[in-house]
Structure 1
Amino acid sequence: MASVKDIRLKYQRLSRVMNERSRRIWAATEARAIGWGGVSRVARATGMARNTIAAGLRELKRRGRAHQWERVRRPGGGRKRLTEQQPQLIDKLEALVEPTVRGDPQSALRWTTLSVRRLEGALQQAGMRVSYRTVANLLKKLDYTLQGQYQRSEGQVDTQDRDAQFRYINDQAIAELRARRPVISVDTKKKELVGHYKNGGREWRPKGDPIEVLMHDFPDPEVPQAVPYGVYDIGANKGWVHVGRSADTAEFAVQSIRQWWRYLGRPRYPKARRLLICADSGGSNGYRCHLWKRELQHLATEENLTITVCHFPPGTSKWNQIEHR
């Protein structure tokens, strides 16, 4: 029985001399020769749709009508795409699924929480002829992704002024980026145990020789935890992680920013005299932490910088740009 690789190689050699109909008939012949599962195997090898191969099988069953095999559609013939028949389809679909961008509004990641069947119904109500399969294909072409659930609800918190606050942060970031000044997003990442502890994932090793780790993940009091503090340069799309062994303190947070500025920020922005920091409102860089403010003032004095901090509203830490990098 021919493998997918063999069928693909054969198809690549023959497709140059075959037209649309002969490709369909050849694919159907291969599928019939394989037997059960042949349509799926040929479709996987050639990239043809299963419906196309099924149509070829139906043509093979028709006897006495071989003269019709000479008829081939001219290039560009056949049914036009729905997007050509209905030019407004893409615009109407994007209007339905355009999300509120989480994190920085310049994020390239897009997603929708609407199912393709609900979108199909909404588009049909708007006068569009479309199926849910077409909706799914269009979403993929528009760079939308199918994603699972994630923690998003912030509970019973007043959201009246959040939109204005996010618009203000967005305007500040865009203005600084246009002026070619640094804009960074900061946050403390998950603390990690140091030692022979189990981590998710696999790696290539000799057979029967796995890496042995501790059975339990109880922290060793003699070994400190690793505290990663991330600094993401939004304009340069570059990240920096400063790992410490102390607690997640405001001094450690500012020291991480200081190290980023001296090693990456200042060489990258030699003429900059201003720095915009986007952070969530809790933890070592929280808006209530006086030590955070004092240490930032020390950094501003040392480096002759004007530092501006924009805090995201409480309960919206996942909207911070660094959370998506």
Structure 2
Amino acid sequence: MSVGTIWTALPLRRLAERLLGRGFKVSASTLDVILRESLRLGRRKARKQMPLGHSKDRQPQFEKLAKLRAEYIAKGWPIISIDTKKKELLGRYAHDGRAWTDGQLQAFDHDFGSYSEGKAIPYGVYDTVRNEAFVYLATGSDTGELAVDAIRRWWYRLGRQSYDGVGGMLVLADCGGSNGYRVTLFRERLTWLANRLQIPIRVAHLPPYCSKYNPIDHWLFCHLSRALRGRFCESIEWMQLLFSEVTTTTGLSVVAELARKVYQSGCKASIVFRQCEATIRDEILGKYNYVFPVSK
């Protein structure tokens, strides 16, 4: 704790016993009043706010993100936030939360992956403009190919209906993972997607150590986690149903789709792409901001 901060993790009954050993007899309920009203203490838990590191590009990149978002909103072009949600073991594994039942919910007493029916990878694409989400449920490995396939499927299931004929698309992504700014396979597949859709795709990464500010974490993933509370995910089809039923009072709607392939790890970008990459990077903070143009 910080110097000068008063704190204790002892239960009130244990604290009362220690005080009794020093000649002070006081009940636990009286101690509660003293701590709160006289010492002005409160029961608090640790807050996960300390970043693992700091990037000198943090403020400039956030200013860049705000400028890009305002520009694309003014033009009526799509802005999507992408990321992989926590992978889920398939089987009778316990999730936090309770359910109404006249029986008992029996789950495995250990979360050993060797007893599972597989592992589901929920990859999310969240439309920050229309408050719509697409969840691509895949198996295998979380790869750059999976990330771009999720964007492609979002376009054909949701995006094309609302943004047909637009002149660009903005993709907000974290710095690491399958959609990180160093993942060459992710860029190669986005180059292919831009040409297939005939839409220039701009990618803007959040600064390092700032993934919690990705819009998809706060506007989609928290609600997907709520859908799993008190339930088992014994199959990927059942997870698809649960995610498809997610709604919020602000109007969020979710479409969940199963991948038709198993994504393999170890896939790399082609030598031709690495030698002749057509990515157009910004002059300032180009490693985080770049565009995939449409080939003529």
TM over 0.5: yes
In 1, Cα distance between equivalents of 2:45 and 2:218: 15
Call closer, same or farther: CA 1:259–1:284 in 2, change over 3 Å.
same
TM-score of the pair, normalised by structure 2: 0.57
Equivalent position to 1:166, from 62, 71, 80? 62
Equivalent position to 1:273, from 162, 167, 170? 167
More strand by percentage = 2
More helix by percentage = 1
For the 8 Å contact 2:91–2:116, the answer to whether it is kept is: no
Percent sequence identity over aligned pairs: 39
Deviations 1:178-207 (A, max 9, x none): 11100001111100010111111111112x
In 1, Cα distance between equivalents of 2:107 and 2:116: 18
Call closer, same or farther: CA 1:217–1:155 in 2, change over 3 Å.
closer
Name the counterpart of 1:151: 48
Name the counterpart of 1:38: none
Aligned length: 176
In 2, Cα distance between equivalents of 1:224 and 1:198: 15
Deviations 1:204-228 (A, max 9, x none): 112xx11222221101367320101
Equivalent position to 1:204, from 81, 94, 100? 100
Structure index of larger Rg: 1
Is residue 2:91 matched to residue 1:195?
yes
Which stretches of structure 1, 4 residues or more, deviate above 3 A after TM superposition? 147-150
For the 8 Å contact 2:82–2:125, the answer to whether it is kept is: yes
Is residue 2:112 matched to residue 1:215?
no
Name the counterpart of 2:150: 256
In 1, Cα distance between equivalents of 2:138 and 2:82: 15
1:128-147 equivalent positions in 2, closer than 5 A = none
In 2, Cα distance between equivalents of 1:148 and 1:234: 32
For the 8 Å contact 2:93–2:107, the answer to whether it is kept is: yes
TM-score of the pair, normalised by structure 1: 0.52
Could you say what secondary structure the match of 1:220 adopts? Answer: helix
Give me the CA root mean square deviation. Answer: 1.7
Deviations 1:50-97 (A, max 9, x none): xxxxxxxxxxxxxxxxxxxxxxxxxxxxxxxxxxxxxxxxxxxxxxxx
Name the counterpart of 2:6: none
Structure 2 unaligned spans of 5+: 1-43, 220-296
In 1, Cα distance between equivalents of 2:55 and 2:76: 35
In 2, Cα distance between equivalents of 1:227 and 1:196: 17
Call closer, same or farther: CA 1:183–1:217 in 2, change over 3 Å.
same
Name the counterpart of 1:282: 176
Structure 1 unaligned spans of 5+: 1-146
Deviations 1:107-130 (A, max 9, x none): xxxxxxxxxxxxxxxxxxxxxxxx
Call closer, same or farther: CA 1:225–1:156 in 2, change over 3 Å.
closer
Equivalent position to 2:198, from 304, 312, 315? 304
